[in-house]
Amino acid sequence: MNPPEIQNIKQRFGIIGNSPLLNYAIQVAAQVAPTDMTVLISGESGSGKESFSKIIHHLSPRKHGQFIAINCGAIPEGTIDSELFGHEKGSFTGATDLRKGYFEVTNGGTIFLDEIGEMPLGTQARLLRVLENGEFIKVGSSKVQKTDVRVVAATNVNLFNAVNEGDFREDLYYRLNTVPIHVPPLRERGDDIFLLFRKFASDFSDKYKVKPITLTPDAVSELLQFRFPGNIRQLKNIVEQISVLEYESREIDAAKLRGYLPDQQSKYLPTLVGSGKMTDKNFSERDILYKVLFDMKKDVTDLKKLVFDLINPNQLEDGDILKEHGHLFENLGNFEQRPFKPHNDGPENFILSVKGKQAYDPHKVEDIQHETEEEVLSLESKERELIMKALRKHNNKRKYAAQDLGISERTLYRKLKQYGLEE
């Protein structure tokens, strides 16, 4: 496909940018569109995956059929089968009428299944049957129905890792991944960031009847260096904020722009100590706070070793204890040796005490276990507090609160039930 054809597709579907990675993704989408092959679109949240599903549909023979976009992560697990495949009257509580599912309604068209990694395993089995045989069964029915639907799926998680963890069916993964398309994140698209900024500035100028905002050269440099973890969606929100709030001066310098760019480190807090890489699955399902607890294990092990050295008479001499383990307490104050009262079951030992702080009795190991248990409970409390703050920040809009927390809407819904925050 030559550059003019790619440019025509960009103009038709409102895609801004000239990044080689973006152009390649568009080229693959246009080439696969005339076929009936299943496509799996991967990319970070907010990178524009839905635009590629529309390219595939509107450049295909199915362009006159219906196109429906479904967010699998936004549909509760108990109702997703009914939404996709329909249900019979009386099949479950609340099923007062016969309902057609999306696969029946879009017969002859295209279904875009976003966040396919959030689909429950039972529903995955039903989807696999549709992809292989074009057959489905409504909830509460035994009658097999036929449908002719093209499936385009998208994910912002690593499905291959999900397969290895048993959270996604291997046969469905290979059936969906017939033609993979990767949508690059905004930070990998270079000058496209500034092009999109100008486009959004012009759009919001028309929307709010104001003069469009512009950037000074140092502000452009600042903009291009920002990582944009929320991708195009985040950039658009930032441009809208500036367009509305900066009414005195429409030229934005680097200092003023930094006031609208969030701290880049906040995306990755709490900081995890260790070399283990956090996968997307762990990030979304177990949540950041639990990962912190797991990574504390190494620190606890080091402290246990110190305690055992203190109480073991065959280990280090008293004067060498501080030399061997003092680095663990560098930031807590000065150290001093304090003799410990001898016990019947062992010789006289020494323990460390930190001036101004109470030290543990090394013969009472249960103290350490007790503190660890209290830490677990406090993490649950902190998680509940973070969820409440996110909901207040976004006026109880769960979709945006989930995005802010870095979890799916289904995970947030489950946490709300767990902590009694559904109201």
The verdict on 180 and 210 lying in the same domain is: no
Domain count, the chain: 2
Is 271 within the bounds of a domain? no
Gap between the Cα atoms of 52 and 17, Å rounded: 14
CA 150 to chain centre: 27
Q: How much is the pLDDT for 354?
A: 42
φ, ψ of residue 140 to 5 degrees: the values are 85, 5
Clarify whether residues 24 and 36 are in a common domain: yes
- 152 lies in the same domain as 205: no
pLDDT(311) > 80: no
Nearest to 278 by CA among 265, 262, 295, 263: 295
Residue 247's Cβ-count burial label (10 Å; 0-12, 13-18, 19+) is: exposed
Calculate mean pLDDT across residues 136-159: 95
Cα 224 to Cα 62, 200, 268, 309: the distances in Å are 39, 16, 20, 53
Report the pLDDT value the prediction gives residue 292, as an integer from 0 to 100: 62
CB-count exposure of residue 41 (10 Å: 0-12, 13-18, 19+)? buried
Q: Is residue 45 part of a domain?
A: yes
The whole domain housing 252 covers: 187-266
> Do 178 and 199 lie in a common domain?
no
> pLDDT at residue 234 above 90?
yes
Where residue 362 falls among pLDDT bands split at 50, 70, 90?
very low
In angstroms, the Cα distances linking 146 to 38, 235, 389 are 18, 43, 47
Closest listed residue to residue 204, CA positions, set 266, 246, 141: 246
The last residue of one of the domains, among 205, 237, 266, is 266
Query: Given this model, what pLDDT does residue 388 score?
Result: 86
Are 20 and 65 in a shared domain?
Answer: yes
Quote the tokens at residue 59.
Answer: 């450049």
Query: Residue 111: pLDDT above 90?
Result: yes
> What's the mean pLDDT when you consider all of the chain?
82
Give yes or no: residues 136 and 8 share one domain.
yes
The answer to whether position 400 is within a domain reads no
Q: First CA to last CA across the chain, in angstroms? A: 53
Could you say which of 184, 205, 223 is where a domain stops?
184
Whether the pLDDT of residue 350 is over 50: the answer is no
In terms of domains, do 73 and 107 share one?
A: yes
pLDDT per residue as tens digits for the range 367-419: 544 544 444 455 677 788 888 888 888 888 888 888 888 888 888 888 888 88
Those residues with Cβ within 8 angstroms of residue 366's Cβ, 6 or more apart along the chain or in another chain:
none
Say yes or no: 178 and 252 in one domain: no
Whether residue 45 is found in the same domain as residue 179: yes
Mean pLDDT (whole number) for 284-312: 63
In a domain, 351, yes or no: no
pTM of the complete model beyond 0.75: no
Q: How do residues 237-286 score in pLDDT, each as one tens digit?
A: 999 999 999 988 899 999 999 999 988 654 444 444 444 444 444 444 44
CATH of the domain at 41: 3.40.50.300
Indicate which CATH number applies to the domain containing 217: 1.10.8.60
Q: Which residue has the higher pLDDT, 91 or 301?
A: 91
Asked if 139 and 87 touch (Cβ cutoff 8 Å), the reply is: yes
Q: Is there a single domain that holds both residue 180 and residue 168?
A: yes
Percent of residues, the chain, with pLDDT higher than 90:
57
Is there a domain that residue 115 lies in? Answer: yes
Residues 101, 20 share a domain: yes
pLDDT value at position 284? 47
Q: What pLDDT score was predicted for residue 395? A: 84
> In the numeric block, which tokens belong to residue 245?
């709030």
Residue 245 falls inside a structural domain? yes
Out of 248, 266, 284, a domain closes at: 266
What pLDDT is stored for residue 324 in this prediction?
Answer: 62
Is 414 a domain residue?
A: no
406 domain-assigned: no
Residues 6+ apart with CB under 8 A from 261: 222, 226, 238
Tokens 């299943």 sit on residue: 38
Phi, psi (rounded to 5 degrees) for 415: -65, -35
Q: Based on the domain organization, do 155 and 96 belong to the same domain? A: yes
Mean pLDDT for the stretch of residues 66-84: 93
Residue 130 has pLDDT above 90, yes or no: yes
Q: If you average pLDDT over residues 87-92, what whole number do you get?
A: 89
How much is the average pLDDT of 86-92? 90
